Structure 1
Amino acid sequence: MKQTFTRIIFVAMVTLATSTLFAQRAALSGEWKLDEKKSELGEFARAATSVKAEQKEDAITITRVTPGFNGGDPMTNTVTLTFDGKVVESEGFRGSKRKSTAKWSDDGKTLVVSSTMSFERDGQTSEFKSTETWSITKDGQLSVVTQSNSPRGESTVKAVYTK
């Protein structure tokens, strides 16, 4: 009887711990539109005008629509990132290759997406690194803070999106 009770308590604790782990993750899924008034984009920064996130237990699919250059057609980019730290390669700016990983914070409130892109121009290779921190604000908006480092220097952009 005592052994059965101990097993029940153990199973209940494992179940609670497992469900709490996944329940604590921020819910990023949805179709989000850029709120320029609440965003801090900087003078030359480009942010996606819309983001669609499809979050699952082990991965997230992110589709971004960004404005075209010089009034050109908008560009759409989709990538699926797993939460196991696996590097995912996708197409970046002007045919470059982007290598990205995604990882949840320990408390599950933020998703960190780290990316590296290499560009070739006039026979020289340049590297662009960025770290995006995704979270849901207290008022239910999506916040994506991007810290980037490129040959042009470092920058931070805060994009806020509403459903």
Structure 2
Amino acid sequence: MKKRMFFIMTVLTLGKALLFAGNPDFSGTWILDREKSETGEGGRMRMTALKLTVTQAENQLTIERFVSSEFRGDFTTTEQTMLDGRETVNPSEFGDRRLSAAWSKDGKILTIGSTMEMDRGGETFQIRVTESWILEEGGAVLKIDQTRITPRGERKGILYYKKEKTRK
């Protein structure tokens, strides 16, 4: 019985490792490449994260986004999503943000979708964001294709982040 249980646990562990083995690991600190990025806002970087700190562990992704805004000053948001398509809810001062993420068939692109309902002056509206994350240049560059849909319309942008080198 013990051998059988050990065998089953080994198969499950290896299966899980193989399932996620081919997917990129986005962990690290990423600095926005302002010159290369195309924000789709006439070059303005209003609410674009200047720095991302990403932690990827097994089936979960945690993203800290550092933003410097002329309207709100400097602030950081933290969000978590599962990497298997399950929806997660991330509370914020503006309302709950619902996120889900899924890998492309080839396992190279992670698409993160989010929806947030907000209330401003008694009027409720929705903001939807889709981001496709892909590593380039041997993992030194994170490219994010972003589509943002708000009551003001649709905006597309391509953000490039350079991986911050770790100090030894």
TM-score band, normalised by the shorter chain?
0.7 to 0.9
Q: Structure 1 residue 141 and structure 2 residue 141: aligned?
A: yes
Match of 2:22 in 1: 24
Q: 3-state SS of the aligned residue for 2:20?
A: helix
Q: Which structure 2 residues correspond to residues 115-154 of structure 1 after superposition, within 5 A?
A: 115-138=114-137, 140-154=140-154
Q: 3-state SS of the aligned residue for 1:95?
A: coil
Q: CA deviation at 1:91?
A: 3.2
Larger Rg: 1
Alignment coverage as a number of residue pairs:
149
Q: CA deviation at 1:20?
A: 5.0
Q: Deviations over 1:116-135 (max 9, x none)?
A: 01111222111111111011
Q: CA deviation at 1:80?
A: 1.7
* RMSD (Å) for aligned C-alpha atoms: 2.3
Match of 1:58 in 2: 59
Distance 2:19 2:89 in 1: 28
Q: CA deviation at 1:98?
A: 0.8
Stretch of structure 1 that moved more, 19-28 or 56-65: 19-28
Q: Deviations over 1:39-75 (max 9, x none)?
A: 00132553100001111221111111111343x4311
Match of 2:113 in 1: 114
Q: Which structure 2 residues correspond to residues 71-82 of structure 1 after superposition, within 5 A?
A: 72-82=72-82
Query: Aligned letter for 2:75?
Result: M
Q: CA deviation at 1:21?
A: 3.9
What is the percent sequence identity of the aligned residues?
32
Q: 3-state SS of the aligned residue for 1:22?
A: helix
Distance 2:27 2:61 in 1: 8
Contact 2:99 2:113 in 1 (8 A): yes
Query: Aligned letter for 1:130?
Result: V
Q: CA deviation at 1:105?
A: 1.2
Contact 2:50 2:66 in 1 (8 A): yes
Contact 2:119 2:125 in 1 (8 A): yes
Contact 2:80 2:90 in 1 (8 A): no
Query: Aligned letter for 2:21?
Result: A
Tell me, which stretches of 5 or more residues in structure 1 are unaligned?
Answer: 1-14
Distance 2:155 2:73 in 1: 26
Distance 2:158 2:91 in 1: 23
Q: CA deviation at 1:18?
A: 6.3
Which 4+ residue blocks in structure 1 deviate beyond 6 angstroms?
none
Query: Aligned letter for 1:135?
Result: I
Q: Normalising by structure 2, report the TM-score.
A: 0.79
Q: 3-state SS of the aligned residue for 1:127?
A: strand
